[in-house]
Amino acid sequence: MYDQFAAAYTADNEINATNALYERPAMLALLGDVCGKNVLDAGCGAGALAEAMLDRGARVTGLEISPAMARLARLRLGQHANIMVADLAQPLSMCAEGSFDVITASLVLHYLEHWEPALREFHRVLVPGGVVVLSTHHPTMDWQLTGGSYFETRQHSETWLKNGVQATVTFWRRPLTAMIAAFRASGFAIDQVVEPMPVAECAERFPEAYAGLTSSPRFLFFRLVRGSSFRHCLTDPRGSQEQLHCQRWLDRVRPNGDVRAKADFADILRSLRWWSCQVECRSAISVA
């Protein structure tokens, strides 16, 4: 899709209000300190965010479906980042289990019909406690633009004019509930949800865009933490280490199969060495 206008899109993205003065600063703020971290930039485009993270001391690998965008990212980043052509809708077989501390997915997930397969792959390639920072179209924006039922997950297309080149892009819009369900089903807990404001410079340089971005929702940002949800582990067909770990843990605490009735949660919490299981434990206690 982006092959049709890679250079024109990138030239605009570098300097416009929406990407340069609103979306990217919000991603960087939500990321916090990435110095020394292994970061996977999923849907890296021409590498503007990757470059900003490299400048802050991260080691960056980029995945991008469009060969033309990947080429631009390689031109920009040279040897400093490893950029691979890959489709996030497919298994990320080029990435080893537990090999990243952070995943960024900036304005890319809305190109996928199904979020869960990609998020499960994110879970697999992250270290325990690793984070995903992502931005996506705000569901109310897409709903206002395209109408129909807010609650449907459905495809829509827009034609953009970027630097004199016209291209049609196709997204999937979905309600907030569907996003959150996908995070939970893939083993992530939500740490932060942000509806940011553009940076102050935007008011001066692009007053009209600033007025729009400060009065209507445009993009929605999430910071997710990779949990080790035992529910997720037990239903994960891949038989990972985590699944084994969870299974052993559950065997210990529920001799007759009823976690809530039989487990001594205080004892479980004391004996747990795997910190992210504690997160699950706490939520189990709160519903017990």
Ligand X SMILES: C[S@@+](CC[C@H](N)C(=O)[O-])C[C@H]1O[C@@H](n2cnc3c(N)ncnc32)[C@H](O)[C@@H]1O
Contact footprint for ligand X (CB under 6 A):
2, 13, 19, 43-45, 48-49, 63-66, 69, 87-89, 106-108, 111-112
What's the min distance (Å) between Cβ of 228 and ligand X?
Answer: 26
Which sign does the torsion angle of CA 287, 222, 112, 78 carry? negative
User: Among residues 20 and 268, whose Cβ is nearest to ligand X?
Assistant: 20
What's the min distance (Å) between Cβ of 46 and ligand X?
Answer: 7
134, containing H or E segment: strand 126-137
What's the min distance (Å) between Cβ of 157 and ligand X?
Answer: 14
SS3 sequence of 147-205: CCCCCCCEEEEEEEEECCEEEEEEEEECCHHHHHHHHHHCCEEEEEEECCCCCCHHHHH
What's the min distance (Å) between Cβ of 109 and ligand X?
Answer: 9
In whole angstroms, what separates CA 168 from the centre of its chain? 24
User: Among residues 110 and 184, whose Cβ is nearest to ligand X?
Assistant: 110
What's the min distance (Å) between Cβ of 70 and ligand X?
Answer: 8
Spatial contact of 91 and 121, defined as CB atoms under 8 Å apart? yes
User: Among residues 22 and 249, whose Cβ is nearest to ligand X?
Assistant: 22
What are the beta bridge partners of residue 173? 154
User: Among residues 89 and 193, whose Cβ is nearest to ligand X?
Assistant: 89
What are the beta bridge partners of residue 63? 42, 84
Residue nearest to ligand X (CB): 45
User: Among residues 11 and 89, whose Cβ is nearest to ligand X?
Assistant: 89
